[in-house]
Structure 1
Amino acid sequence: MNASEIDYAAVFQALPGAVALFDTDLVYADVNETFLRILGRARDQVVGRALSEAFPDNPRDPAVVGMRRLRDSLRWVETSGERDAMTPHRYDVESLDRPGVWEERYWSAVCVPVFGADGRVAMMLHWEEDITELVHTRGGRGDGNRDMALDAELYSRARELQRVNELLRAAHAREHEVALQLQEAMLPNPGCLTREGAAVRYQPAVGALNVCGDWYETVDLPGDRCAVAVGDVVGHGLAAACVMGQLRSALSASVRVADGAAQTLEALDLYAGSVDGAESSTAILCVIDESEHTITYSSAGHPPPALLHPGGSVDFLDQATDPPLAACPEPAPRVQAGTAFAEGTTLVLYTDGLIERRDEDIDVGLDRLADSLDRHRGLDPESLADALLTDLTPPVGASDDAALVVLRL
C-alpha cells in the first residue's frame, strides 16, 4: 500500500490519544473519537464551534485559565510555525448532565502546526492527555499520604515548568524587541527613494523573531545616477539580521568606488567569504542612469528584477546572473548586462519570498508577478507595492521574508 491509498481520515479517528484540529480562527475543524469520549461530548457540540464556546473556562473559578492558556499556545504555534509542548495545567470541563457543575481536570498537551501548500500555517493540531488521576488524590486506593505527596510534587513540578515557560516566552519577546531595534538601525537611508515615484516594502516571515534576513540598499551616485540593490541572507532571525547588516554596509561602500555593478558584486563576494553565515546569500544590483535612460545590472544568484513598460509588457533582467555570494571556492569575475528604458517605465526589485512557493517551479511565480504588474500598471508605486503584496503573498502568515522596491523611472 502506498501513501495515496491510505485513508488518513480513518487513521485520525483511530488514534488512541485525544486529538483535535483547529483552523486559524481557533474553531474546531475536526476531533477524533477518543477526544469526544474523554471530554464527554458529541461531535456536533465541538466541531464547527470556537474553542471558547465549546470549552469555556469555569466562570466560578477565575484562577483556572486552561482555555486561555490553550488559546495562547495555539496562537503562538500559528505565529511561530513551531510546536509548543504545554506544561501540565488545570482545565475544568462542565458536566453535560449537570449544567453549572464543573469537573476538575488536569491535562498534558502539545500543539503542532500543520502547513498548507503555500508554506504557511493552515491548521493547528492539538493532542492532549488527561492526567487527572495522577494529580488527584486517589482516596481509598493505596497509601493516601503517598498519593497526596505525589500530587503535591506533581503540582509543584507543573508550576515550575509553567514558570520556566513564562520566562522563555519573556526572553523570546525581549530578543524579538532587540532584533527589531537592530534591524531598524541597519535599514538604509532612503537615498534615491526619497524622490517621487518610489516605494519600498519590508515583510518578515512569521516566526523566527519576525526579523528579516532580506535587505535593500539605495545609493545616490555622481551624475544623474542611482544604485539600487536587494539581497537575501540564508535563514531568519537575529543571526540573519546581523549578516544582512554587514552585507548591506559592504555593498554601500563598494558601489561608491567600484566601476559598475559587476565589480561591486565581485568586491561583495570577497567580503562575504569572510563573514560567517553569509555563504550562499544572494544579491542583485542595478545602476540607473537617468540622463542616458539605461540600467546596468549584475546578479549573484538572485531572482531577476522586473521591468514594467508603460504599455504593460514586462521584461525580466536575467542576462547577467552568476552564483550566489561566497558559493565558489575561488572568487571569479562577474557578468554585467544593460538595457534601455523609456520614461514611465517601472523597475521592481524583490526577494524570493515574494514569488517562490514550496513544490512550485520559480517560473510560475515569475508569471504570477508579471500578470500582477500588467493588471496594476496604472497604479502609482506606493499603490503598486501594496497590490503586489496582496496578489503574491499568501493571506495567512508568510513563511519567508520578502523585500520589495518599486521605482518609477
Structure 2
Amino acid sequence: MRVTRKIDYPGVFAALPSPCLVLGTDLVIADANPAFCEVTGRNRAELLGQYLFDAFPDNPADPEADGVATLQASLHRVLASGQTDHMALQKYDIPVPGNPEAFKERWWTAINVPVLGPDGMVAWIIHRSEDMTDVVHARRTAHLPSVSPGREAAMEAELYARARQLQQLNEELRQAHTRERRIAVALQEAMLHSPDLARHPDIAVRYLPATGSLNVCGDWYDAVDLPADRFTVTVGDVVGHGLMAATVMGRLRSALSAATRTVHGPAQALEVLGMYARSVEGALAATAVQVLVDCHSQLLIYSSAGHPPPVLLHPDGTCELLDQATDPPLGARPEHIPRPQANATYTPGDTLILYTDGLIERRGEDIDTGLTRLTSTLATCTEFGAEHLADALLARLGLASGASDDIAIVVVRLARATRPH
C-alpha cells in the first residue's frame, strides 16, 4: 500500500532559496522566509503584520524613487486579474536595519504570484524577489578594455531605460487588453440578454469564457416564457471561441428563441434550429439542449442535440440524468429526421442544472468520469438556492476562475405553478 506523506509547506517555504513574502489582499505581510530576511537585514517578527510599504517605503533622499508605485501597481494587477505579474529590473532602496532614516541602494527583479482561495478569488500573493544589486555594481566596476568607462555607464543607463520602457509598454498593453475585454463583455451581455429570464428569481445563470480568450465565446443560455405557467431553459455550444463563435451563437440563439414560441415542444424547436444551422457557416456540429418546465403538471419535457445531459438534483442528494432524448448535433444529418423527446416528473424543491461541456470535460478523461464528478459535487449542494449553488458548483469543481473551455450554466430551483390552472 502506497503511503502519501503530508507536505510540510511551512518547511518548504522556509527552505526556498529565493527571497519570498506572503502578502494578504490588504498587502500586509503574512510571512517572510529566511532568504528574504537575510537579503533585507530584517527579522521575521518585525515584518509580520506590517503593511508592505510601511516596512519598505521609498527612499526620501531619491527624488526619482518610484519603487513603491511600481510594485504597488503590479500587486494591484494581480489582485484584479488573478494572474501572475512579472516586474522588470527596478531600483528600490531599502532602509538600513537599526537606522530607518538611512537607505541602501538596491536593484531587484520580482514576480508576484496569486494564490487562489476555494471561491476562486485571490486570497494571498507570493512576492518573490531577486537582489540584482551586485550584478548592477559589477557592470559598473568591471574592466572592459574595449569599452570606455563613460561608454559603459551610457550602456548601463540605456539598458535600464529600455527595461523601464518595456515595463511601460507592458502596462499600455494591459490597459488596451482591459479595454478590449470590457467591450467584449458588453457585446456578450447584449447577445445573451433575456427579458424573460429576469422574471425568474429562482433561475441563476453563469457564463465563463475560456481562460485567455477575449471574454466572448460560443456557449449560450436562454429562457423563454410560454403560456399556462410553462417556460423553457436552454443551453448551447458552438464549436470554437472568440468573435466568430459568438456571432454564430447569437444567430442560433435568436432562431431557437423564435422557434420555441411557435412550435410544440423542445424536439420540434431543435428540429427547426437544426435545419437553420445547415445554412449558417460555422454552425454545423453545434450542440444544444432544451427543457420545457410545466409547472402545473410538474413535468420536464426535454430534447438534446448532441449535448451533455441536464441533471435533476433531488433534495436527498440523488441525481437523475435527463439522457433519454439524445440526438446528433445540429445540422449533422443531411436529411430531416424528427428528433426524440422525453419526459421526467419533478417535485417542488428539486433543482434542474443545464451546462455546457466545459463544466465536465477534462483532458484525458471520458465523459462518464466528468458526469460522476458533477453529480457527486451537486450532492453536496442540496441546501443551496440557485445563485449559491451556481457559485458553489464552479468553486468546488475548481473552475471559478475559468477553464480551458468555455462554460455556461443554468440552475433552476423548481417550484409549483404560480397561479391556478
Same fold judged by TM-score > 0.5?
A: yes
Alignment partner of 1:167 is 2:169: no
Deviates more, 1:63-72 or 1:162-171: 63-72
Alpha-carbon separation, structure 1, partners of 2:320 and 2:272: 25
Q: Which residue does the alignment assign to 2:375?
A: 366
Residue 180 of structure 1, CA deviation: 1.7
What is the letter of the counterpart of residue 323 of structure 2? Answer: Q
In structure 1, which of residues 226, 229, 251 is the aligned counterpart of residue 231 of structure 2? 226
Is 1:288 the equivalent of 2:297? Answer: no
Alignment partner, residue 151 of structure 1: 156
- Offset of residue 297 of structure 1: 0.8
1:145 Cα offset (Å): 0.9
Residue 352 of structure 2 corresponds to 348
Secondary structure of the equivalent of 2:400? coil
In structure 2, what is the Cα distance between the partners aligned to 1:60 and 1:408?
A: 69
The answer as to 2:324 corresponding to 1:320 is yes
The aligned residue for residue 36 of structure 1 is 37
C-alpha distance in 1 between matches for 2:153 and 2:235: 63
| Partner deviation per Cα, 1:7-61 (whole Å, 9 max, x = no partner) | 7856655555434444555454554443333222223344565433443344565
Please, what TM-score do these two structures have when normalized by structure 1? 0.73
Does residue 1:88 correspond to 2:89, yes or no?
yes
1:71-130 residue CA offsets vs partner (Å, 9 max, x unmatched): 432343354343322222232211113211122322222334456788765654433333
Give the structure 1 partner of residue 419 of structure 2: none
Q: Which residue of 1 aligns with 2:415?
A: 408
2:184 aligned residue: 179
Pair 1:260-2:265 in alignment: yes
In 2, Cα distance between the equivalents of 1:8 and 1:104? 35
Distance 1:80 1:190, change over 3 A: same
Distance 1:178 1:49, change over 3 A: same
Cα 1:131–1:174 change in 2 (3 A) is same
Aligned equivalent of 1:381: none
In structure 2, what is the Cα distance between the partners aligned to 1:117 and 1:56? 33
Instruction: Tell me which residue corresponds to 2:73.
Output: 72
Rate the CA distance shift 1:61–1:301 in 2: closer, same or farther, 3 A.
farther
1:306 and 2:307 correspond: no
Q: Note the alpha carbon deviations across 1:221-277, whole angstroms, 9 max, x for none.
A: 46764322134567877666555434423432443455532344455567399655x
Distance 1:39 1:202, change over 3 A: same
Cα 1:59–1:244 change in 2 (3 A) is farther
In structure 2, do the counterparts of structure 1 residues 393 and 288 end up closer, same or farther at CA, with 3 Å as the change threshold? closer
Deviations 1:266-290 (A, max 9, x none): 55567399655x7886543112345
Q: Secondary structure at the match of 1:215?
A: strand
Secondary structure of the structure 2 residue equivalent to 1:52: helix
| TM-score relative to the length of structure 2 | 0.72
Q: Deviation at 1:354?
A: 11
Q: Does the aligned pair in 1 maintain the 2:230–2:295 contact within 8 Å?
A: yes
Counterpart of 2:52? 51
Task: Verify the 8 A CA contact 1:94 1:100 in the aligned structure 2.
Answer: yes
Q: Which amino acid aligns with 2:169?
A: V
Q: 1:272 to 1:198 in 2, by over 3 A?
A: farther
Give the counterpart letter for 1:399 in structure 2: S
Partner residue in 2 for 1:128: 129
Find the aligned partners of 1:246 and 1:52 in 2 and give their Cα distance: 52
Letter of the structure 2 residue corresponding to residue 227 of structure 1: T
**Corresponding position: 1:245 with 2:245:** no
Q: Is the 8 A contact 2:234 2:354 kept in 1?
A: no
Change (3 A) 1:55 1:268: farther
Q: Does the C-alpha gap of structure 1 residues 55 and 209 become closer, same or farther in structure 2, counting only changes over 3 Å? A: farther
* Secondary structure of the structure 1 residue equivalent to 2:99: coil
TM superposition shift of 1:157: 0.1
168-177 vs 287-296, which moves further: 287-296
Cα offset for 1:195?
Answer: 4.2
Gaps of 5+ in 2: 417-421
Q: Which moved more, 1:142-151 or 1:243-252?
A: 243-252
The verdict on how the C-alpha distance between 1:116 and 1:129 changes in structure 2, with shifts beyond 3 A counting, is: same
Percent identity over the alignment?
A: 38
Match of 2:400 in 1: 398
Q: Structure 1 regions of 5+ residues with no counterpart?
A: 377-383
| Counterpart in the other structure of 1:104 | 105
| Alignment CA distance shift 1:268-1:83 (3 Å) | farther
Structure 1 residues 302, 268: CA separation in 2 closer, same or farther (over 3 Å shift)? farther
Instruction: Report the counterpart of residue 379 of structure 1 in structure 2.
Output: none
Cα distance in 2 between the residues matched to 1:203 and 1:106:
43
1:100 counterpart SS class: strand
Counterpart contact for 2:91–2:107, Cα < 8 Å: yes
CA-based RMSD of the aligned residues comes to 4.6
Say if 1:61 and 1:176 are closer, same or farther in 2 by CA, change over 3 A: farther
Aligned residues: 395
Deviation string, structure 1 residues 175-226 (Cα, Å, up to 9, x no partner):
12111210121123322x3546644343647964784645321224467643
